[in-house]
Amino acid sequence: MNKTANFLFILAFAACGEATAPDMEAKTDVTRTVNEVAITAGTPMTMADLSIDGMTCAMGCGNTIKNTLVKLPGVSGAEVDFTEAGKTNHVVVTYDPAQVSDADMVKAIQGLHNGDYKVVAVGITKQVLKTGASEAAPAESPAEAKVNAAIENVALPSLVALLQRLVRI
């Protein structure tokens, strides 16, 4: 039984490395969208939805990316949304933009496993605390920009911490 468990662990670990070799000439520009959302109570949070190509499994690849992001300063949580290998998957990160930028997160992800993972888009949602009933909520017009992401090692935030913060609000 122990040999079988060891074999399955090695097989699952090796499956994460079976992604095609990264194209060294691939673009590092990432489409970036920013939305502001008005809230009337609670602590404003900033969240980034990172669209990632190259994840082949949720347990190995997804956890590697999540753990890398959670280790970044200012990241309070991360949640991996894995559908299937070969498709663009997502990681939703809650973070403090004063301590870490979305470009830092992109660099961290793209620096993993010799560049096997590519961030193709970043959707930022910033919560803004609005007081008073007479103030109108700002129009949610996304601003598009490009992020230049050089490869560098970075850590991922914890999804459990993110969920705990959301429940306290």
Domain CATH for 145: 3.30.70.100
Cα separation, 45 vs 50, in Å, equals 16
Hey, what are 44's tokens?
Answer: 């404003």
50 occurs within a structural domain: yes
Predicted pLDDT of residue 23: 39
Predicted pLDDT of residue 136: 52
125 occurs within a structural domain: yes
Half-sphere exposure of 73 (CA within 13 A, CB side): 3
What total of structural domains would you count in the chain?
A: 1
60 occurs within a structural domain: yes
What tens-digit pLDDT sequence spans the chain (169 residues)? 566 655 555 545 555 544 443 333 344 578 888 899 888 888 888 999 988 888 888 788 888 999 999 999 999 999 988 777 667 788 899 999 899 998 999 999 999 888 888 998 899 999 888 876 544 555 555 556 666 555 455 555 666 676 777 777 6
Predicted pLDDT of residue 164: 73
Q: In terms of residue numbers, what domain contains 73?
A: 25-168
Predicted pLDDT of residue 72: 93
15 occurs within a structural domain: no
164 occurs within a structural domain: yes
Which distant-in-sequence residues (6+ apart) come within 8 Å of 146 by Cβ? 29, 30, 31, 32
19 occurs within a structural domain: no
